[in-house]
Amino acid sequence: MFFLLIGVILAITLMGLTLGNREKATWPEKFLNDTVSFAHGLVFKPARYIAGFFEDIGHLRNLYQ
């Protein structure tokens, strides 16, 4: 539990130190950003279509009533 608390404090401190505005990102940051963006697109787009489909069904049910 103690190590978890120390880890959270260190992570928050590290985020605070690296939060400042910078001109350019380093190549690991660019790679991570590109990878996360790609994975987000793979998951989010189909989930958005499925959610929209069920929302439309709900609208049709309200229209029928």
Task: Identify the three-state secondary structure at position 10.
Answer: helix
For 42-58, the pLDDT digits (tens) are 989 889 999 999 999 99
What local confidence, expressed as pLDDT, does residue 7 receive?
94
pTM above 0.85, yes or no: no
What local confidence, expressed as pLDDT, does residue 34 receive?
92
What local confidence, expressed as pLDDT, does residue 54 receive?
92
Counting Cα atoms < 13 Å in the Cβ hemisphere of 18 gives 10
Q: 6-28 in b/e burial notation, b at 16+ Cβ within 10 A?
A: eeeeeeeeeeeeeeeeeeeeeee
Neighbours of 52 (CB within 10 A): 10
Neighbours of 43 (CB within 10 A): 10
For 2-50, the pLDDT digits (tens) are 999 999 999 999 888 777 777 787 888 889 989 999 999 898 988 999 9
